[in-house]
Chain A
Amino acid sequence: MKKIVSLLCALVLCCAMMPVSGAFAAEEEVAVYNWFDYMDPEVFDLFEQETGIHVVPYYFTTNEEMIVQVQYNPGAYDLVFPSDYIVEKMVRLGMLAEINYDNIPNLVNIDENLLNPDYDPENKYSVPFMWGTLGILYNVTMVEEEVDSWSILWNEKYANRIYMLDSIRDTMGIALKYLGYSMNSTDLFELREASDLLIAQKPIVKAYYVDETKEKMAAGEAALALMWSGDALFAMELNEDLDYVVPQEGSNIWVDPMVIPATAKNKENAEKLINFLCRPDIAQRNCEYIWYSSPNKAAIEAMGEDYTENLTINPSQDIIDRCEFFHDIPEDEFEDFNDEWERVKDAR
């Protein structure tokens, strides 16, 4: 009998503990779902100090992982940072809430060129957070010729000195671009040509990485790498022999916007946070921390020549003109896109 009593006591104790942990949830909060290392960590503290709203951060590494999480955990996230073509998909699937711009007066700071984009034509669902390009990061001490074409990534002189991205849209995209096609092609023949080109390149590629590349390039492990502009700048800060270029054939230009899921529980807090992130001093802080291009005119003005004269972070209009946005590819056609990429990965 004693045993049963003690068991019951333990059970009661367990039950008593539970509401305690729930009590913390009562205060104002906003759940943010962002890429790893994509925000100055102090920004959330500042936001908490000013508004008293507690920020609960969550992180993801790929868009595909993120969209599954948002779909299967309704209400778990209030503010999400997907890539542009994923916003297109989320809009199509009805996953996003319309933003109330009355709560975001700081929108005036955002560059008009980045508003009303293709992925969200009426700008109902998204506010740009950062943007950037895709290009070649190279080590000037190891590369003799001028780097201005994707063809250098196929130059056998640099065998085992080239890093490619283990990222389907980017790597397939530049192969398509090099062949003169659109990065959003779904034509079976064009895709096959692109995958054949990448298979031919495979023997001279050193590795297919995503996050490792910037550190390895900074350490001088390879001569050339396919890289995003912000990661390139990160590496260039560590190693002054590195330079970044967007090839003549054109490349990808992208925007990472902030969106609010339709299922968000704290929509107004999320809007407050968007407004906060659009404030010039905060935008500048983030820009100087993660090194991607800022859509915030006022912040750019404040940063002055450091920003405007840096072609990597502030590409000229002719570079922007030859770049292309990714678009969402419908699922059944994306299967083919994916399978051609798998052909490259499985090639021996």
Chain B
Amino acid sequence: MNDYQMPSWGYWVMGVGLALYLVLLVGYFIKCRGFRRPVFASPYVLWIVIFTVIPVLLVAYFALTDGNGNFTLDNFRDFWDSDYLRRAAISPERAEKLKERGMTLEEYLPPNSSNVDTLIHSIWMAFQCTVICLLLGYPAAHIMADREFKLGATLVVLFMVPMWMNFVLRTYALSELLEEDGLINNILKGVGIGARQLLNTDGAIQLGMVYNYLPFMVFPIYNSLNKMDYKLSEAAMDLGCNKWQTFYKVTLPLSVPGVISGITMVFMPAVTTFAISRMLGGGKTPPLFGDLIEKRFSGSALNWNLGSALSMVMMVLILISLGFLQKADPKGEGGGII
């Protein structure tokens, strides 16, 4: 049995941090003789330290150590050569047994790139999801923000209502719809196309992701379109632009911050998801990178060190893409998440 636990220094950091925080708080309280603004802000600092800074440090610690707490880079090596750790773990006696039967360890466990392939597959799925959400979400946001469209506010509410329900529940409902004897297949049968395998395919996962993340694309775009000064497009019209030119030259550039924010908010969860692929993939579809990390932490193939290394790779990729996005929206006008 693997008995992973937080290294003792983790408790030390937390304990010392908490003590320091309390001392500073009391000190400040005495000095100012009462509650001032920074006192009210300080719980958030504590929150960030305990739930963001220390966990990230712990992930980095596990990624860079082996099961015994010694420094190693093997976990990252396993990312490139997916059977590296396993090859190292097979005992010499067992390797000897393999040799007796005419096979070397390298032949039994040849170098392979399944972790990298999974990452590429995940990014590709998330990219598709983002593009579909953008194509569906932009027109929707545009219609909702249209000043002449009376039902805009109603549409906003309609988009929001499903989000009040738990997403696991909604995704399970989706899996019932996609079943062989489900509503969609029955309609297909009725039309004469015939039932087909919808559930447990990449397409089902894609549908689940688009369905769950579409509001995260629509609302940032809606926000940026909604707060846009409509006099600008009126001015463009007055100066001779037709409808398309107005959209292309005025509306679209002004909505870029919203689009950027939408892309971030859809791509990030899509590239790390594992719940949707589990519920709609039935264990049959190729795993996503999120599945790979999840099973190292709570699933069948427990290995916190390797799981942390894979998470680090993911985090670095996300940071890089956030950097690019910040270049495109330097002021964070779309209500960006950084």
Contacts and interface: CB of A to CB of B under 8 A. Distances in A.
B283 interface: yes
A188 B283 contact: no
B180 A331 contact: no
A332 B282 contact: no
Contacts of B37: none
A339 interface: yes
Contacts of B287: 345-346
B53 interface: no
A267 interface: no
A192 B108 contact: yes
Contact of B181 (A68, A168, A202, A220): A220
B300 interface: yes
B283 A209 contact: yes
Given A188-B108, A331-B1, A346-B114, A209 B282 contact: yes
A208 B283 contact: yes
Interface string A115-141: 000000000000000000000000000
Interface in B19-65: 34-35
A339 B179 contact: no
B1 A188 contact: no
Given A189-B101, A221-B180, A346-B114, A207 B35 contact: no
Contacts of A206: 197, 200, 282, 284
- Max chain A CB contacts within 10 Å: which of B197, B199, B283? B283
Interface of A is mostly: helix
- Max chain B CB contacts within 10 Å: which of A219, A333, A346? A346
A335 B181 CA distance: 39
Nearest to B196: A160
Interface of B is mostly: loop
A336 interface: yes
A71 B3 contact: yes
A291 interface: no
A331 B287 CA distance: 25
Contacts of A341: 300
A202 B284 CA distance: 7
Interface stretch (B68-76, B89-97, B312-320): B89-97
A157 interface: no
Given A206-B200, A345-B287, A346-B114, A336 B3 contact: no
- Max chain A CB contacts within 10 Å: which of B35, B101, B179, B282? B282
B283 A345 contact: yes
A145 to B, nearest CB: 22
Interface of B: 1, 3, 34-35, 86, 89-91, 94, 97-98, 101, 108, 114, 118, 179-181, 197, 199-200, 282-284, 286-287, 295, 300-301
